[in-house]
Chains A and B, each alone.
Chain A
Amino acid sequence: MTIYWIYDLPVWLFGLTTVAVFVALSVGGLLLSHDYIKKKFNTSESMNEAVSGYFGGITSLYGLLLGLVIVASWQYYDNASRLVSREEAAIGALYVDVSSYAEPQRTQMREIIKSYVNYVINDEWPAQAHGELLYGGRKFLIDLQQSLLDVDLADSRKQLIMSEAMQTYNKLIEAHRMRLDAIDDGLPVVLWVVVISGAALSVLISYFYHFTHFRSHLLMTTALATLAGLMVFLAASVDNPFRGAVSVSPEAYYRLLETWESDSASKADSADEAQRSAGASIADH
């Protein structure tokens, strides 16, 4: 399906277009079929009740279907934002873990982590908003792994640090992969076909209503089509968690960079203080 250009439109335009298309087609269909239906089927007010029965049945089924579709696409969205949050949490923890490594490894690893986060924000995110997968992040992660493993294991404390850092690193790798997997999450085409044809069917059934005044019929059809268009717009914008107006933002990664900046600003004094208190406690001991 090459319908993804819809995600490049501004939200309001996309919403307006969807509703406009629905209204135009339904009202157009009503205008065209009105005379024919009236003549052929002799519709009258007394038939409205029966039409209502059918219409009610179809719209309640269609409503359930739409509900399911929206919940399903919402879950993809929710899942994707949780994965992003997990990856961000792992990166944050790893950044603290590597501060136990000696210099120059520490700075070097922190730089790698920072470049990885920058890469995610600047390269991966725009690419995944177009449904593309970039594998460049792996290079940073592999470099990082090499540095993590480069430890003198004779020291028992370093063993501990390494094993803990490796554990966090594995969490990061896992979350990274799962995020990449979620990029092409989306509703299957079949579901979309059913959603659109369900909307068309409900509108078609409503053509069989009879109004003394045709204008009421037109207005009612407009209202129905507006609502159907809105719902389809909603399902489409929630679908594809990394695309369109309702999509997962890279905010979490920006927040990481922001924390590290505020850390390094307050680093000097707090590190000194920690050093002093640590020194004092060793002396006491």
Chain B
Amino acid sequence: MYWIYDIPTWLLGVLTVAVFLFFSLGGLLLSHGIIRGRLMLSNETNNAVCGYIGGIGAVLGLLLGFVAVATWQAFNNAASLATREAAEVGSLYLDVSSYPQPYAKNMQEILKTYLTTVIDTEWPAQMRGQVAHDAMQHLHRLHHEIFTFEPQTINQQVLQAEVFHALNNVLSARRMRLDAVDDGLPAPLWYVVLIGSVVSIATTYFFHFPNFKVHVILTGKFALFTGIMVFLIAAVDNPFRGEVSISPDLYRMMLASWSANP
């Protein structure tokens, strides 16, 4: 189903709503005759149907709300993991700049290459839902570089300890970002959302209107709204995919700020 993230968001929205409208209005047109002929609905039965719709709608509304919040939380969590990684890389960059030359320069270069690889190679991969490890080799190199430096003074010893610590933080933040790549709503949640929408739309078929056109319009509105909710959930789901996703802009800003004040 991931192809939905390859099309523009507005198109995804229009498609989702169109599918919902098509099926609910089609269902209404097809079932209308049978329901009317068999069940002898009247204005009096509307009250009872209204009660059922109220109950079903309340439960479905809560479910949709919950699902929307859950996907939003996953999105937020992924965004804050990316921010954390960028921040940890930033502080490591500052830390290593206190090394004597040429160590400082070397290490800063490695960090720049690291960010560039993350932006150019890892991000596109994770937008396709793949986890790439290309940038890891640069951190290994950095680790090696730090390790080969022999502190001469107490100050340098303290610096070394801090740099090791900062590097470990980068490593953890990186891993946690990679873990978030395949975050998404589990399939059973999607089933429940979709089946629940179908059941509640089908229940509206049992209303009775003296004028059928009103029934069509109101069912259309109901389907429209349900479709919009489902679209919202799908767009926010999978934090690194689609247009509504986390961009590597933070990393780019970091690189830009480094080249501004070397």
Q: Which residues of A contact B (CB under 8 A)?
A: 11, 15, 45, 48-49, 51-52, 55-56, 58-60, 62-64, 66-67, 70-71, 74, 78, 84-86, 88-90, 92-93, 96-97, 99-100, 156-157, 160-161, 163-164, 167-168, 171, 202, 206, 209-213, 215-217, 219-220, 223-224, 226-228, 230-231, 233-234, 237-238, 245-246, 251-252, 255, 258-259, 262-263, 266, 270-271, 273-275, 277-278, 281-282, 284-285
Contacts and interface: CB of A to CB of B under 8 A. Distances in A.
B262 interface: no
A234 B60 CA distance: 12
A238 B186 CA distance: 9
B210 interface: no
Q: For the side of the interface on B, what is the size category?
A: 35 or more
B105 to A, nearest CB: 9
B189 interface: yes
A216 B44 CA distance: 13
Contact of B164 (A164, A238, A281): A164
Q: Is the interface of B mostly helix, strand, loop or mixed?
A: helix
B253 to A, nearest CB: 24
Given A48-B47, A164-B164, A231 B150 contact: no
Interface string B149-187: 011000001001100110110011101101110100011
Contacts of B206: 216, 219-220
Contacts of B13: none
A279 to B, nearest CB: 8
Q: Is the interface of A mostly helix, strand, loop or mixed?
A: helix
15 contacts: A11-B187, A56-B54, A67-B66, A85-B179, A157-B160, A160-B164, A167-B165, A217-B48, A233-B192, A255-B178, A259-B133, A263-B136, A270-B137, A278-B145, A281-B102
B103 interface: yes
B49 interface: yes
Interface in B175-214: 175-176, 178-180, 182, 186-189, 191-192, 195-196, 199-200, 202-203, 206
